[in-house]
Structure 1
Amino acid sequence: MEVKQSNKSDISSAQAVLLGALAPGVNNPTWNTIKSAFVMLGLCLAVMLGLAFSASDSWLILHVAFLLLIAATLFLLLSWFLAQTGLVSVEHQMREMDLMPNDLKGQAKKAN
Structure 2
Amino acid sequence: MEGRSSNEISSAEAVFVGALSSGVNAPTWFVLKITFLLLAFCFTAMLSLAFFSSDFVVVGHVLLLVTIGTVLFVLLNRFLAETGLVPVEQQMMEIGIHKTEATSENKIN
Instruction: Report the TM-score, using the length of structure 1 for normalisation.
Output: 0.85
Gap regions ≥5 residues in structure 1? 106-112
Give the root-mean-square deviation of aligned CA atoms.
Answer: 1.7
Percent of matched pairs sharing the same residue:
46
d(CA) in 2 for partners of 1:104 and 1:90? 18
Give the length in aligned residue pairs. Answer: 101
Q: Give the match for residue 90 of structure 1.
A: 88
Change in 2 beyond 3 A, CA 1:102/1:79: closer
d(CA) in 2 for partners of 1:54 and 1:75? 27
Alpha-carbon distance, 1:98 to partner: 1.5
* Mapped pair 1:43 → 2:41: yes
- Among 71, 75, 78, the alignment partner of 1:73 is 71
Change in 2 beyond 3 A, CA 1:104/1:68: farther
Q: Which has the higher contact order (CA 8 A, sep 6+)?
A: 2
Q: Give the match for residue 24 of structure 2.
A: 26
AA of the residue aligned to 1:23: S
Alpha-carbon distance, 1:6 to partner: 6.3
Deviation by residue 1:30-82 (Cα, 9 ceiling, x = unmatched): 00000000000010001100010011110000000100000000000000100
Secondary structure of the corresponding residue to residue 100 of structure 1: coil
Instruction: Report the TM-score, using the length of structure 2 for normalisation.
Output: 0.87
Runs of 4+ in 1 over 3 A off after TM superposition: none
Say which is worse superposed, 19-28 or 92-101, in terms of deviation: 92-101
